[in-house]
Amino acid sequence: MLDKETARDLSRKLSIDLFTIYREYLQILFLKYFYRQRESSKIYFKGGTALRLLYGSFRFSEDLDFTSLVQENQLQQLILKSLKALSKEEAAISFKKAESIGDSFSGRIFQELPDIKFPLTIRIDFSLREEPVLTGDSSYLETVFPVIPYPYVSHLKVEEMLAEKIRK
């Protein structure tokens, strides 16, 4: 659990509010447990949060985006297994599948925190319709947050992430 003092220090250091600090911490923890599973190597992290966490983008993001070569039923099992493991480290975690559009799988991760009136929410979106044009890559996600070991994530190559951002 991210203690209040560490959260406040990170809030000052990163010049962002506490809610965003707690959300990014939860995002990193989810990635840590999600990518510990062998099957997740066929799921590529991408989007604004990936650009921030892997390449140091200044923009904080609310969601986690992925391109998946794994189908919906297996994805849901991977998510639930990840959250079960995460729940041993963090309390009050839940998941709700959202209505998906087209060839995608979406949901929300929730965490109730004692000092915050409403739950942290992270939207997770998995595109099932596309295969990466460039081969994927894997990297350690180095972070200032107290997460050990660093998550080792499969992700789109930076060129493909940026091209996808431009196409949208």
Domain ranges within the chain, ordered by starting residue = 4-167
- Which residues are CB-neighbours of 65 under 8 A, at least 6 positions away? 45, 46, 47, 48, 49, 50, 124, 125, 127
What mean pLDDT do residues 36-53 have?
Answer: 93
Q: How far apart are CA 40 and CA 17, in angstroms?
A: 31
Task: Look at residue 19 in the predicted model and tell me its pLDDT.
Answer: 92
Q: For 66-92, what is the mean pLDDT?
A: 93
pLDDT at position 166 over 80: no
The CATH code belonging to domain 4-167 is 3.10.450.620
| Model pTM score | 0.92
State the Cα–Cα distance between residues 131 and 81, nearest whole angstrom.
Answer: 24
